[in-house]
Structure 1
Amino acid sequence: MAAEVQESEEDLVLNLSLRPRRLAEFIGQKEIIENLKVCICAAKQRKEPLEHVLLSGPPGLGKTSLAHIIAYEMGTKITATSGPAIEKAGDLIGILTNLGRGDILFVDEIHRLSKVVEEFLYPAMEDFQIDFVIDKGPYAKTIKFNLKPFTLVGATTRSGLLAAPLRSRFGIMYHLDFYEVEDLMKIVSHSAKKLDVVINKDSAEEIARRSRGTPRIANRLLRRIRDYAQVKNIGTVELAIVRQSLKDMGIDEGGLDEIDRKVLKVILENYNGGPVGVEALAASLNEEVDT
């Protein structure tokens, strides 16, 4: 279970505008960025597509942003989809055959691909070919179709669910970790400029501290604080304004909201601090397992 707040359409648009476009603009994950620079530079020098990339880690840390940055840095187009959206092999064929040389195919939640689709993807990743069968029974024929060399960028929050044959076909694998407060402060300050919010260092630090190491949460809190300041007709977002608006939102000192606190309370009071299965916890909270 995760207390991920559903974002409005306006928030999703704003999120896109706050994303970095180039590696030079990406804040945090320094080791990953440096290694990725080398891989991209080498691929461009050889005039080859980048090897397939697997990005893993908790939600909101920049996996989708990195996929789009890779496409920008390689100077190619990106086609974005998700594991649950590719229900059958035919869906994948349509996507793969429309990719140009060096294009990026970004598959979010790649761990949720069906086994049939996964197996269909293996020769596409390894040999840039797909095999499909025409007709049935004694008239069945297997036809090979050559694809233009492409780069698959997969993102997952649950890398342990990936099948070993799929994982082994990724030449580049990175795990994104939670961000330090200093990096989140830079992200908040950078986003504030894009949103035309005047914010001081103490305010940026307060937002960063309550963001649980996650840029997506930091940007979401900043947008809500911006709304608060706008309605109250406040010019500069001071520390007191940040604290009051976060208090009104129910965000405590540790960055936990009402649902988070409810989960912890149930674990402590109903299950003596745990362990407790996610289904039992969901039943106790009267919530869906995926909430």
Structure 2
Amino acid sequence: MSGEGERLVSADAEGAEEQVIEAALRPKRLDDFVGQERVREQLSLVLRGALRRGRTPDHVLLSGGPGLGKTTLAMIIAAELGQPLRISSGPAIERAGDLAAVLSTLAEGEVLFLDEIHRLARPAEEMLYMAMEDFRVDVVVGKGPGATAIPLDIAPFTLVGATTRAGMLPGPLRDRFGFVAHMDFYEPAELEVIVRRSARLLDVEITDDGAAEVAGRSRGTPRIANRLLRRVRDYAEVRADGVITRDLARAALKLYEVDERGLDRLDRAVLASLLRKFGGGPVGLSTLAVSVGEEPETVEVVAEPFLVRQGLLARTPRGRIATPAAWAHLGLAQPAASPMAGTLFEVDDGAERPD
């Protein structure tokens, strides 16, 4: 189960089959979208106001971690406007000409969704500035001194950009979005609603406490909740009568190595190594990664963000340090000499001294 691509609790969509299942479970209207209440209300006002005026809505930027519903909201925006949706992504647009080809074929009012927009190539990004503001692009024909810029008008459209790295988005591009929303992680109660709805769509019988058990281990992410639900469904159909109860969900997720807080094998391996081998830290990232047989980038990008968010691990100038909650979660006694045993510490954004 090692590696980011094989993790049951990864928030990334993995494989064409999962994307098809996700599409079937997605809500189609804003009123059916669960969670993100403030974003839903603000977005509803933006869309309804534009429809009343008969104008194209402002461009929309959605930021937040993977699996929180950015693509779903883009599809809902198009559905609420009664317009088709064109889908692309920043990495897929390598040249300005690629973007010009997409923009020139948009119909009036159409919605263009660009996922991972922060990874857009610089020439395409600069072309997008003019397209978003003036609905016009300059197409360069020829090379060198003989090159000519031909202005090309494009139909008014609504751009929906999505990013998991809002800090990497250039300021000039961000400023051209009329509505910017950050999507937060979901509360367990919201995920319970999503799990019960998905169970109905999958024709799976689930009890309220079974839905609560799945939701509580879903790391605040609907995509993970739906993935866990499908794995628990498999267990219920093969080893039980098909009904998902709390006890059955616990047994299934124990088999899949997802514990009650949503930690999987890699997460617990990082914590166990930090506690048992290094006394709770501080320890450098590369040393910690070697101790669990993973690359430093895997530990830093895949495991650490959730552990930090759960209050189980802290990143300090001297290295990684386990919190008292980490000792309690693994059922270990915290030594009196532990670096966080009743002492104050300085947390930073991950910088550390060399090993």
Choose the corresponding residue for 1:203, options 181, 193, 210.
Answer: 210
Per-residue deviation at 1:32? Answer: 0.8
Cα distance in 1, alignment partners of residues 101 and 47 from structure 2: 27
TM-score, normalised on structure 2?
Answer: 0.77
Q: What CA distance in whole angstroms lies between the structure 1 residues aligned with 2:59 and 2:203?
A: 38
Structure 1 residue 288, shift from structure 2 partner: 7.7
| Displacement of 1:263 | 3.3
Q: Secondary structure at the match of 1:191?
A: helix
TM-score (normalizing by structure 1): 0.93
Give, as a single letter, the amino acid of the residue that structure 2 aligns with 1:261.
Answer: R
Matching of residue 88 in structure 1 with residue 95 in structure 2: yes
Residues 1:256 and 2:263 aligned together: yes
Task: Show the counterpart of 1:46.
Answer: 53
Code of the residue aligned with 1:286 in structure 2: it is E
**Whole-angstrom distance in 2 between the partners of 1:52 and 1:151:** 5
Question: 1:98 and 2:105 equivalent?
Answer: yes
Relative to structure 2, which stretch is displaced further, 104-113 or 129-138? 129-138
The aligned amino acid for 2:53 is R
How far the C-alpha of 1:140 sits from its partner, in A, is 2.1
Matches within 5 A, 1:167-246: 167-246=174-253
Q: Is the 8 A contact 2:90 2:115 kept in 1?
A: yes
* Distance of 1:271 and 1:140 partners within structure 2: 65
User: Aligned partners of 1:134, 1:40: CA distance in 2, in Å?
Assistant: 37
SS at match of 2:220: coil
Indicate how the Cα distance of structure 1 residues 270 and 84 shifts in structure 2: closer, same or farther if over 3 A, else same: farther
Structure 2 partner of 1:135: 142
2:65 matched to 1:58? yes
C-alpha distance 133-56 of structure 1, shift in aligned 2 (>3 A) = same
Residues 1:140 and 1:8: Cα distance change in structure 2 (over 3 Å): closer
Output the amino acid matched with 2:259: D
SS of equivalent to 2:91: helix
How many residues are matched? 290
The answer to whether the 8 A contact 2:233-2:242 is kept is no
Take 2:138 and 2:77, find their aligned partners in 1: how far apart are those partners? 28
8 Å contact from structure 2 (residues 56, 158) kept in 1: yes
- Matches of 1:188 and 1:272, distance apart in 2: 36
Aligned to 2:132: 125
> Any gaps of 5 or more consecutive residues in structure 2?
303-355
**8 A contact 1:29–1:177 mirrored in 2:** yes
Q: CA deviation at 1:93?
A: 1.1
Aligned to 2:297: 289
Structure (1/2) with the larger helix percentage:
1
Could you say what secondary structure the match of 2:42 adopts? helix
Counterpart-to-counterpart distance in 1, 2:178 and 2:290: 41
Matched, 1:148 2:150: no
Match of 1:35 among 21, 30, 42: 42
Question: What CA distance in whole angstroms lies between the structure 2 residues aligned with 1:150 and 1:210?
Answer: 40
Structure 1 residues 81, 274: closer, same or farther in 2, change over 3 A?
Answer: farther
Distance, in Å, in 1 between the alignment partners of 2:207 and 2:282 is 41
- Is the 8 Å Cα contact of residues 97 and 139 (structure 2) preserved in structure 1? no
Percent identity between the aligned chains?
Answer: 50
SS of the equivalent of 2:177 reads coil
Shift of 1:9: 3.0
Give the superposition deviation at 1:286.
3.0
Q: For 1:117-136, what per-residue CA distance to the aligned partner results, in whole angstroms no more than 9, with x for missing partners?
A: 21111101111110122223
Alpha-carbon distance, 1:142 to partner: 1.3
Q: Is the CA contact 2:13–2:19 (under 8 Å) kept in the aligned structure 1?
A: no
Give distance in 1, aligned partners of 2:63 and 2:282. 27
| Structure ranking higher on relative contact order (CA contacts 8 Å, 6+ apart) | 1
Q: Per the alignment, do residues 243 and 37 of structure 1 end up closer, same or farther by CA in structure 2, a change over 3 Å counting? A: same
Once the 2 structures are TM-superposed, how far is the Cα of residue 7 of structure 1 from its aligned partner? 2.8
Corresponding residue for 2:351? none
Q: Is residue 188–residue 207 contact of structure 1 (8 Å, CA) maintained in 2?
A: yes
1:107 alignment partner in structure 2: 114
Which amino acid is the alignment partner of residue 262 of structure 1? A
Deviations 1:132-186 (A, max 9, x none): 2222333221111000001110111110000000000000000000111111110
CA distance in 1, matches of 2:157, 2:191: 33
Q: In structure 2, what is the Cα distance between the partners aligned to 1:88 and 1:265?
A: 46
Q: Aligned-pair RMSD on alpha carbons?
A: 2.1
Q: Which has the larger radius of gyration?
A: 2
Q: 1:107 & 1:190 partners in 2: Cα distance?
A: 28
